[in-house]
Amino acid sequence: MLADTWHLFNKYMRITMRMPMWTLFTLIQPLIWLLIFGQLFKDFVQLGDEDYMAFMVPGILVMTVLFGSSWSGVSLLREITAGTVDKMLVSPVSRIAIVLSRVLHSSAQVIAQAFIMLLVAWILGATLNMSPLYLLMAMVIVLLLGIGFAALSNGFAIALQREEPLVMIGNLMTLPLIFFSSALVPEQFMPDWIQLISAVNPISYAVDAIRAVLSTTPDMAIFGKGLVVLTIFAGASLAWAVTAFNALRD
């Protein structure tokens, strides 16, 4: 299964490397948020000594992951349409590897995008903890969140079987999930009912964990909690996607 996953992952990476612009296009929206909203709100939001740009960057990173990974299901549908999936299924390749390779490819792509966003934020002057160890920890969270949402996108693709509702669901999910999290606004500023939703929103845990390690005063407890929640989220989403894929064949 691992060898199958590696060969298929390699294929997707090769195709992505041949179309680098696509990876960059999905960065446009998070970049606009970073540039415009960061500048717009920095004087309104009072965060004590903390810089609003530094506060916002983890939220924007998570947004990048969401925008990037929600396309994974669309490309699965295109592969089904093109007959590529049939070509794999008629071979002895592991079915788990087909889903896993797609999800890992999508996650690798969002990690690259997250690095570009961090670089832009650093150029814009955000005060972030850029030590390699903490950056690596932040990227682990990005990876887990990427796996979770890419798996959900693939699972929905199989359940819905059509591109239009999948894109609609992706768009519908993305923004509310971000607003119902601590991505853009500290939790204490939220109304109670949003705080409740935020408490069960995996995005909140991802944002908090990334913020905890990119802060100039890292907090390992918050990071640890995020790591556990996101590992469970990624595992459950992946299991659902694989089950949906296998059920479809029977």
Partner 1 sequence: MTNLAIQIKGLTKIYPPDNRAVDTLDLEIKAGEIMALLGPNGAGKSTTIRAASTLCGFDEGKVVVAGFDVDTHSLEVRQAIGVVAQQTGIDYFLTGRENMVLQGHLYRMKRSDINSRIEELARYFELDSSIDNLVSTYSGGMRRKLDIACALIHRPEILFLDEPTLGLDIKNRKILWKHIDKLNKEFGLTILLTTHYLEEADNLSHQVAIINNGQVQVVDTPDALKNSIHGDSITVSFDDVGKNEQAFFHYAQQQSYIKGSTWEDNKLHLYVENGGANVAALMAIATENQAQITNLSLSRPTLDDVFLKYTGTSILETKEEEGDEWWKQWAGKGGNTGKWKSQWGAGDSAEDGEEQSWKNSDWLKESEDGKNIGTQKREEAQWQQDSWSGQQQGANKNDGSNTTDEQGSQQWDPSQQGNWQNNEWNKNKDGGEK
Nearest of 25, 32, 21 to residue 60 by alpha carbon: 32
Choice between 3 and 196, CB closer to partner 1: 3
Nearer to partner 1, 93 or 227 (CB): 93
Distance of closest approach, residue 249 Cβ to partner 1, in angstroms: 8
Which stretches within the chain are classed as H helix? 2-18, 20-25, 28-32, 38-41, 52-69, 72-82, 84-89, 95-123, 132-160, 163-179, 192-199, 202-214, 220-249
Among 84, 37, 70, 77, residue whose Cα is nearest residue 185: 37
What one-character DSSP code corresponds to residue 187?
G
Identity of the residue, 23 or 195, whose beta carbon is nearer to partner 1 in the bound complex: 23
Cβ closest to partner 1, residue 1 vs residue 47? 1
- Cα–Cα distance for residue pair 91/137, rounded to 1 Å: 38
Q: How far is the CB of 1 from partner 1 (least distance, A)?
A: 12
In the bound complex, what is the minimum distance in angstroms from residue 11's beta carbon to partner 1?
Answer: 5
Q: Please state the closest distance from residue 14 (CB atom) to partner 1, in A.
A: 7
Question: Which is closer to partner 1, CB of 88 or CB of 173?
Answer: 88
For residue 81, CA distances in Å to 67, 70, 84 come to 23, 18, 8
| Residue closer to partner 1 (CB basis): 167 or 197 | 167
What's the rounded Cα separation, in Å, for the pair 101 and 52?
37
Concatenate the DSSP letters of all residues of 54-76 into one string: HHHHHHHHHHHHHHHHTTHHHHH
Task: Give residue 103's identity as a one-letter amino acid code.
Answer: V
Positions that interact with partner 1 (CB under 8 A): 3-4, 7-8, 11, 14-15, 18-19, 80-93, 161-164, 248-250
User: Shortest distance, CB of residue 24 to partner 1, whole angstroms?
Assistant: 17
- Nearest approach, Cβ of 4 to partner 1 (angstroms)? 7
User: Would you mind telling me the total number of residues written for the chain in this entry?
Assistant: 250
